[in-house]
Structure 1
Amino acid sequence: MALIKEKDREVLAKEFEKINMPVKILVFTGGDECEYCKETLEIATELKALSQKLAVENYDIQKNKDVAQKYGIDKTPAIVLECAERRAIFYGIPAGYEFTTLIEDIIEISQDRPVLYDKTREMLTKVDKDVHIMVFVTPTCPYCPAAVRTAHKFAFENRRIRAEMIEASEFPELAEKYAVFSVPKVVINNDVEFEGAYPEEQFAEQVLLAIGKNI
Structure 2
Amino acid sequence: MLNDTLKAQLKAYLERVVRPIHIIASLDDGAKSRELQELLGEIRALSDKISVSELKGGGERAPSFALTTPGQDISLRFAGLPMGHEFTSLVLALLQVGGYPPKVAQEVIDQVKTLDGDYSFETYFSQSCQNCPEVVQALNLMAVLNPRIRHVAIDGAAYPAEVEARQIMSVPTVYLNGEVFGQGRMGVEEIVAKLDTGAAARDAEKISAKAAFDVLVVGAGPAGAAAAIYAARKGIRTGIVADRFGGQVLDTMAIENFISIPHTEGPKVAAALEQHVREYEVDIMNLQKAESLALRGDLVEIGLAGGARLRSKTVILATGARWRQMNVPGEDTYRNKGVAYCPHCDGPLFKGKRVAVIGGGNSGVEAAIDLAGVVSHVTLIEFDKALRADDVLQRKLRSLKNVDIITSARTTEVTGDGQKVNGLVYEDRRSSDKHTLALEGVFVQIGLLPNTEWLKDAVALSPRGEIIVDVHGQTSVPGVFAAGDCTTVPYKQIVIAVGEGAKASLSAFDHLIRSTPADAENRAA
TM-score, normalised by the number of residues in structure 2? 0.36
* Distance in 2 between residues matched to 1:177 and 1:193, nearest whole Å: 17
Deviation (angstroms), 1:198: 1.1
Corresponding residue number in structure 2 for 1:194: 182
The separation in 1 between residues aligned to 2:16 and 2:84, in whole angstroms, is 22
Query: Is 1:5 aligned with 2:8?
Result: no
Instruction: Give the match for residue 68 of structure 2.
Output: 82
State the one-letter code of the partner of 1:38. R
Q: Which runs of 5+ in 2 are unaligned?
A: 200-525
C-alpha deviation, 1:146, in angstroms:
1.2
How many matched pairs? 197
Gaps of 5+ in 1: 62-67
Distance between the aligned counterparts of 2:132 and 2:94, measured in 1? 17
Match of 1:22 in 2: 20
Distance 2:108 2:128 in 1: 28
Alignment of 1:40-51 (within 5 A): 40-51=36-47
Whether the aligned pair in 2 keeps the contact of 1:79 and 1:90 (CA below 8 Å) is yes
- Root-mean-square deviation over aligned CA pairs: 1.9
Instruction: Give the share of equivalent positions with the same residue, in percent.
Output: 23
CA 1:17/1:42 → structure 2, altered by over 3 Å: closer, same or farther?
Answer: same
The correspondence of residues 176-195 of structure 1 with structure 2, limited to 5 A, is: 176-195=164-183
Letter in 1 for 2:12: K
The alpha carbon displacement at 1:15 in A equals 1.4
Superposed, 1:132-211 pairs within 5 Å as 132-208=120-196
Alpha-carbon offset, residue 160 of structure 1: 0.5
Q: Give, in whole Å, the separation in 1 of the partners of 2:108 and 2:163.
A: 29
1:105 aligns with 2:99: no
Give CA deviations for 1:13-58 in whole Å, capped at 9, x if unaligned: 1111111101011111016xx4410001110000110111111111
TM-fit CA distance, 1:108: 1.3
SS in 2 for 1:108: helix
- Which residue matches 1:64? none
Tell me what 1:39 maps to.
35
By how many angstroms is 1:114 displaced? 4.0
What SS is found at the alignment partner of 1:19?
Answer: coil
SS in 2 for 1:105: helix
Amino acid corresponding to residue 2 of structure 2 in structure 1: I
The structure-2 alpha-carbon separation of the partners of 1:163 and 1:186, relative to structure 1 and needing over 3 Å to count, comes to same
Alignment of 1:59-70 (within 5 A): 59-61=55-57, 68=58
CA contact (8 A) 2:17 2:100 kept: no
Report deviation, 1:126: 4.3
Contact 1:150 1:200 in 2 (8 A): yes
Higher RCO, 1 vs 2 (CA within 8 Å, ≥6 residues apart): 1
Residues in 1 aligned to 2:190 and 2:46: alpha-carbon distance in whole angstroms:
36
Task: Name the counterpart of 2:210.
Answer: none
- 1:5 positional shift: 1.1
Q: Which AA in structure 2 matches 1:77?
A: P
Answer yes or no: is the 8 Å Cα contact 2:24–2:67 preserved in 1: yes
CA distance in 2, matches of 1:125, 1:8: 33
In structure 1, how many angstroms separate the alpha carbons of the residues matched to 2:161 and 2:42?
Answer: 31
- SS in structure 2 of the partner of residue 169 of structure 1: helix
CA displacement, residues 78-134 of structure 1 (integer Å, 9 cap, x when unaligned) = 110101332320011122112221111101111165443334334334433221111
TM normalised by structure 1 equals 0.83
